[in-house]
Chains A and B, each alone.
Chain A
Amino acid sequence: MSLLKAGKIITDTWTRIEDDQEFAEAGAVIVSLECWLNESESLRKPRNEPIGVSLRNDQSPSQIIDDLEAISLIQLDFPAYTDGRAYSAARLLRQRYGFKGEIRAAGNVLRDQYPLMLRCGFDAFIVNEGIDLAGWQTSVEAMDTPYHLPK
């Protein structure tokens, strides 16, 4: 998989840690919501590294609104592109809770949905390797006058 951000494929400096996995000494990690809620103290203080939290699409971002200062990245999941729950989560995080960190789309992230995700506040995308970057950019420009949120 590749990481798309600001129109470019970049190196992903984050490591996804599963719930039963040990943490490396250094480096930015993404953990599950359960892990964050259970171990947020131990995650924060001794390591002093950026923390990301991954939400499944049946988990509401309202569960972490008091922690947003301590979280640098939130990953939202699209198990299928037809499942639109993460759009609402992203909008709430950006517009209502004022989250300034990275909002990362994972799962079935496709070119046709890319402009919709951008407008809901996603700014990083885990995509298949070898995507046609010019094509993805074209899809953003296809609708130049949205009725809704500003880009």
Chain B
Amino acid sequence: MPSRRDSRVWAELIRQWSSLHPEFTFLPRKFKIAVTGSPHDRTAVKFHDIGLILKHDEDGNLGFEVLVGGGLGRTPMIGRTVREFLPQQYLLSYLEAILRVYNQLGRRDNKYKARIKILVHETGIDALREMVEEEWSHVKEEGVDLPFAEVDRVRSHFTDPTYDVLPDHDHSFAVKQFEDPMFGRWVRANLAPHKMPGYVIANVSLKPIGGAPGDVTAAQMEAVADLADKYSLGEIRVAHEQNLVLADVKMSDAYSLWKKLDEVQLGTPNLGLISDIIACPGLDYCALANARSIPVAQRLQRRFADFSRQFDIGELTLNISGCINACGHHHAGHIGILGVDRRGEEYYQLTLGGSADENASIGKIVGPAFSNAEIVDAVETVIDTYLSIRANGEAFIDTYRRTGEEPFKIALFGEKQNVAA
């Protein structure tokens, strides 16, 4: 039985199983499943209707921790564990059991209460688990699960590319980082280690300072496509943070790649930093929005444009949604901004402490909303407060978790306001 934690294989099997599934094509509402193969979650697995975390049990067997009922939107919830360990061979029958329970019992009277997170909340995770397990005890005998041969057949489509055998280090790669400080920054922020020696993973930031987060022009996309062919085995991936990933870049090519990205304004060294903002289209484009998102993101990027300052602030997620539907995932940002309409004027509510990784948390609203004119200063106050109280090397989210919202509230609203609130 395979023991590698490759989420792609399972995602593909789930895609095939769920496509035009006759029983589950008309669920109470939309339904999203995430699969993660890494202990450091980058899929926001706890904010999906079903979250699947690949893991091994004590005997080394591969399986999943199964979470259910996560989501953002107007009712943010963190997924709850419905099963600690599901052996891999039962994945489809278990999903079928969850969906059958949801199809039958999910609310259809009110579309805002129809997602499975509401069913989990109203039923309780323990009662829901009992129903799912009871259903599964039958489904798993009914032939839904795939034979290993079929899983292997699908797995055979996810073989590794042919990598060159390379040394662990590349001299020019090391030298260029000293010679060209912007490249050095890009390496530090945008590159991630690769499992193969001599390779790196390059994240292409679509967050140039003062640009619309996530926007890319046709000419830029053509350039990325050419660069992917030249430097990364012809494959481009899209990340939910609104950036692109070139997954298989040789260290020795990294500098050339970056130079060419920089020529088309895609070389910004800010991945995971404060200017790597997730923003929805907001009122500029969206009929649902209450406030603009993009101009706020642009003003914030300009305020924090200095890269030395960004690196000093360190790892931080800042997410902006123009309305309560939360397309900008503001609940899950270390700093979140939610646009609201107050008597025809754009206001922005600030949330702190959200996180979309394996330690998922929902940001907490701090105080009354800020006007369009005030919101950038408010974020800067939060950042300055963090810089003044952080322990050595402590990231923003860790400081927030240590101190709570208090010091930030005081800095934003003063002692008095705080007592009154």
Contacts and interface: CB of A to CB of B under 8 A. Distances in A.
A82 B26 contact: yes
Given A84-B27, A87-B103, A148 B22 contact: yes
A82 B26 CA distance: 5
A61 B108 CA distance: 19
A146 B17 CA distance: 9
A87 B23 contact: yes
Interface string A83-101: 1110111010001100000
Interface string A72-86: 000000000111110
A37 interface: no
Contacts of B103: 84-85, 87-88
Nearest to A142: B20
Given A60-B104, A84-B103, A87-B26, A96 B138 contact: yes
A88 B23 contact: yes
Contacts of A82: 26
A24 interface: no
A116 interface: yes
B312 interface: no
Contacts of B108: 83, 85
Nearest to A84: B26
Q: Kindly state the interface size class of chain B when it binds its partner.
A: 10 to 19
Contacts, number: 51
Interface in A96-151: 96, 113, 115-117, 119-120, 143, 146-149
B20 A143 contact: yes
B100 interface: yes
A143 B20 CA distance: 10
B307 interface: no
A112 B100 CA distance: 21
Contact of B22 (A60, A81, A95, A116): A116
B22 A88 contact: no
Interface in B106-163: 108, 138, 142
B24 interface: yes
Given A84-B103, A85-B103, A146 B20 contact: yes
A91 B23 contact: yes
Q: State the 7 A-B residue pairs at the shortest beta-carbon distance, nearest first.
A: A84-B26, A116-B22, A119-B22, A87-B23, A88-B103, A120-B22, A147-B16
Interface of B: 16-17, 19-27, 100, 103-104, 108, 138, 142
28 contacts: A60-B104, A82-B26, A83-B26, A83-B108, A84-B23, A84-B24, A84-B103, A85-B104, A85-B108, A87-B23, A87-B25, A87-B26, A88-B100, A88-B103, A91-B23, A95-B142, A96-B142, A115-B22, A116-B22, A120-B22, A120-B23, A143-B20, A146-B20, A147-B17, A147-B20, A147-B21, A148-B17, A148-B23
Given A91-B23, A147-B21, 12 more contacts: A82-B26, A84-B23, A84-B25, A88-B23, A88-B104, A96-B138, A117-B22, A120-B23, A143-B20, A146-B20, A148-B17, A148-B21
